Amino acid sequence: MSAKSMHMFNQLKTILLAITLGLVLDGCRTVRPPSPIVVAAPLDRANNMALGNPSSAAISDPENYLITRPQYVLSYSRSRGIANWVSWRLSTSWKGDSKRTNDFRPDPLIPAGWYAVRTSDYTNTGFDRGHLCPSDDRDATPEDNAATFMLTNIVPQAPRHNREVWKNLEDYERQLMSKGNDVYIIAGATGTGGTGQNGFATLLAGGKLTVPATLWKILVVVPTGTDNVFQITANTRVIAVNMPNAQTTADKPWQAYLTSIDALETLTGYDFLSNVPVDVQSVIEKQIDGGNS
């Protein structure tokens, strides 16, 4: 073989070796599939529990017993005799001119064998029968309004707390609705021991009815739309409050009790807004509302 031919042969061998080595190295590389695009599922606009079941309430758990009505959904504690939380949607479709029924009564959905709280359990106790889902949020029909007087939706509440500062927040919720919003609300009671007209108490009805230490509430404000679904974003307004169950709580406006959803999760152990994407939760749950009405 001539020197020229030998040179060309060596060049070709070098090129083939480089190509082979490149293919081997490429085969050794870790192949990472493209990251999936996560699209949050839209939430059901008509669902009273659209934001999620914060305590994973179920009919199998007596301390976290799920009761579902067209008007609201709640988690009930058998040992405490009150709801852990109540969830509902406030919108113009639930508003009307039906009169307040004042039909406080034991809840027929309480399982047989459980103690069902009665109106007489509140008599002369110094505590109001305080609504979690308000009567005024459900007055489209007499049946809707009557549903709010089930005693599973009621807690022993200091009278001034119920009639002043708590009521003022309820009125504000309806103002938000009248300005073109749907408001998704979760309200509950936690702890033991409140101060009513007759002083401090922890239990009523011979220990069957717990007086909560605080009442808390979360409002998620969503513009009203014609679609059957909606989505929560990092810019969605949320309002969270936690109010001690005492007469003196009414000495301040409800805005004095603003807190964050994160703080309420720490207090209750619940997972609020569980149907909302985690990256959105991480933004809105740590915020304390600044009053951007």
Separation between Cα atoms, residue 227 and residue 211, nearest integer Å: 41
Query: Residue 209 is which amino acid?
Result: L
Separation between Cα atoms, residue 19 and residue 179, nearest integer Å: 69
- Reported in sequence order, the residue ranges of 108-249 that DSSP labels E, i.e. its strands, are 128-131, 154-157, 181-190, 194-196, 199-201, 203-204, 209-210, 214-223, 229-230, 237-244
Q: Is the dihedral of CA 158, 160, 161, 162 positive or negative?
A: positive
- Angle in degrees, CA 214, 220, 225, rounded to 5: 150
Task: Look at residues 40, 31, 7 and name the one whose alpha carbon lies nearest to residue 277.
Answer: 40
- Say which of 80, 131, 167, 217 is annotated catalytic: 131
Say whether 68 sits in a helix, a strand or coil. strand
Q: Is 131 a catalytic residue?
A: yes
Region label for 238, one of left (φ > 0), alpha (ψ between -120 and 50) or beta (otherwise): beta
Question: For the chain, what is the largest distance between any 2 Cα atoms, rounded to a whole number of angstroms?
Answer: 118
- Angle in degrees, CA 219, 225, 229, rounded to 5: 75
Q: Could you give the residue numbers annotated as active site?
A: 131
